[in-house]
Structure 1
Amino acid sequence: MKQAISKWRPLISLVVAVLTIGAPLVMMINGYVLMMQNDLMHPDVLVLIGYLVWGLVGLVGVIAYGIHCYRVGWHGLTVLQRWLFSIYGVIFVLGLLIWLPFLGLSSFDWAEWIIYGSAN
Structure 2
Amino acid sequence: MQHNRETRTLELSLTALCLGGPMLILLFGTTFDASYLGTYMLGTLLTWGIVGLIGTIIYATQWRHVGWNHLPRYRQVLTVLYTVAFVCGLWRWLALFEILPAF
TM-score scaled by structure 2? 0.86
Q: Distance in 1 between matches of 2:84 and 2:30?
A: 20
Instruction: Name which of structure 1's ranges 53-62 and 99-108 shifts more when overlaid on structure 2.
Output: 99-108
2:21 to 11, 20, 23: 23
Which consecutive unaligned segments of at least 5 residues does structure 1 have?
112-120
Residues 92-103 of structure 1 mapped to structure 2, 5 A cutoff: 92-103=86-97
Between 1 and 2, higher relative CO (CA 8 Å, sep ≥ 6) is seen in 2
Larger radius of gyration: 1
Matched residue pairs, number? Answer: 100
Q: Is the 8 A contact 1:52 1:95 kept in 2?
A: yes
Structure 1 pair 93/75, CA: closer, same or farther in 2 (3 Å)? same
Q: Quote the sequence identity (%).
A: 29
Aligned alpha-carbon RMSD (Å): 1.8
Q: Distance in 2 between matches of 1:30 and 1:48?
A: 15
Which consecutive unaligned segments of at least 5 residues does structure 2 have?
none
Residues 1-120 of structure 1 mapped to structure 2, 5 A cutoff: 7=4, 8-31=6-29, 33=31, 34-35=33-34, 39=35, 42-108=36-102, 111=103
Q: Distance in 1 between matches of 2:11 and 2:30?
A: 28
